[in-house]
Amino acid sequence: MRIELVRRPLQSKLFSALSPFIAFALMVIAGAIIFAALGKNPVDGLYAYFIDPLTEVWSLHELAIKAAPLILIAVGLSVCFLSSNWNIGAEGQFTMGAIAGSVIPLYFPDFQNASVLPLMLIFGAVGGALYAGIPAILKARFNTNEILTSLMLVYVAQLILDWLVRGPWRDPAAMSFPQAPPFHAWAIVPELFPMSGRANWGIVFAIVAAVGIWFMMSRTLKGFEIKVIGQSPRAGRFGGFSTTRTIIFAFLVSGALAGLAGITEVAGAIGRLQPSISPGYGFAAIIVAFLGRLNPLGIIAAGFVLALSYLGGEAAQIAIGVTDKTVRAFQGMLLFFVLACDTLIHYRVRLVRPAPATAPSAPALETAHGHG
């Protein structure tokens, strides 16, 4: 038995819609197997992971808090990926956005009014965009591989943050903790419904950004340009579109959104700068982008799925005592299944028996391979 692919004449509409669901179902099955292998009851494990966090109001708030940065970053990444720019350094752009936005409350602590937060958000977006501009310019100007440069800059950004919170920005009042002073009240992202939980305006930013990017990609010339360049740079050039401009644009957009996510996280859920500000949102967002099939509206849904996996990891640790390290394994598996299922959109998959070597079977072979 071997697997053979036959290209479909047209993309399968059915599998375009179904593939994320099949992938999720496969991950649940694989998750059950892992729980069983760890000696836990798979039903309890899956319940704790995927159902339990949805049963309480406070944890729905937490879900929104975790989904916001994932969606913000992933819609930006979708612009990059659709234009064939492999920005995998969103984690670094997130960090730089958080740092840039924090400049205002930390250096101008006496500047306290309603304009502080909007300014911080702008600073954060600009910081993230500028940081994403580095791999973009290196790719556009020197043809440097953006995958490697953007990834290397993640480590650099984390070291810069580490230096800031242990050095110049360290809170003298925080005893021996390496962290910056807490932000003042004007510099905090307000909560949406303070009566019932912590969810803040971040999730609103995320949904607005997703709808905005959806509009740009599907209804404007810019979106068309990005998709053409992504699929065929040559065709794009004939159409008068500039590859260089597209590279810079895609990176700046995704960097800005990652930076916005960074400052929103620091000024929202955390409230101050500290050495670790992200449980890998920048990398999980890559999975969100693919699970959402690079469509901003799909990404909103996918963002909540990945957010659920973060909460589920914590819940499962408490409920059945598995390590929260399972979260990243589950997320990695999900991306694998998503990519594998996407094959069904473009190809028909067939299992083929090894062809018998004798002559009479030749016609049978012909039918087995088929052309329809």
Contact range with another protein by CB under 8 A, out of 143-151, 197-205, 218-226, 298-306: 143-151
Our finding on whether 231 is near another protein (CB under 8 A) is no
**Measuring CA to CA, how many Å separate 35 from each of 11, 42, 190, 315?**
36, 5, 39, 14
Q: Which of 224, 250, 246, 202 is nearest to 75 (CA)?
A: 250
> Among 44, 162, 171, 314, which residue sits at the site for another protein (rule: CB under 8 A)?
162
Contact range with another protein by CB under 8 A, out of 190-198, 206-214, 247-255, 322-330: 322-330
Our finding on whether 163 is near another protein (CB under 8 A) is yes
Our finding on whether 179 is near another protein (CB under 8 A) is no
Our finding on whether 342 is near another protein (CB under 8 A) is yes
- CB 306, CB 288: distance < 8 Å: yes
Closest distance to another protein from the beta carbon of 56 (Å): 26
HSE-CB of 12 using CA atoms within 13 angstroms: 18
> Among 47, 86, 111, 224, which residue sits at the site for another protein (rule: CB under 8 A)?
86
Q: DSSP states of 297-342 as a string?
A: HHHHHHHHHHHHHHHHHHHHHHHH---TTHHHHHHHHHHHHHHHHH
Q: How big is the site for another protein, counted in residues (CB under 8 A)?
A: 47
Encoded amino acid at 174, one letter: A
Residues with Cβ < 8 Å from 208, sequence gap 6 or more?
none
Tell me 48's DSSP state: I
> Among 18, 130, 148, 211, which residue sits at the site for another protein (rule: CB under 8 A)?
148
- CB 282, CB 73: distance < 8 Å: yes
Our finding on whether 142 is near another protein (CB under 8 A) is yes
349 strand-pairing partners: 5
Give the nearer residue to another protein in terms of CB position, either 58 or 177: 177
Give the nearer residue to another protein in terms of CB position, either 192 or 329: 329
Our finding on whether 138 is near another protein (CB under 8 A) is yes
3-state secondary structure of 214: helix
Residues of this chain that interact with another protein (CB under 8 A) are 3, 5, 7, 86, 88, 138, 142-145, 147-149, 151-153, 155-156, 159-160, 162-163, 166-167, 283, 286-287, 290, 323, 325-333, 335-336, 339-340, 342-343, 347, 349, 369
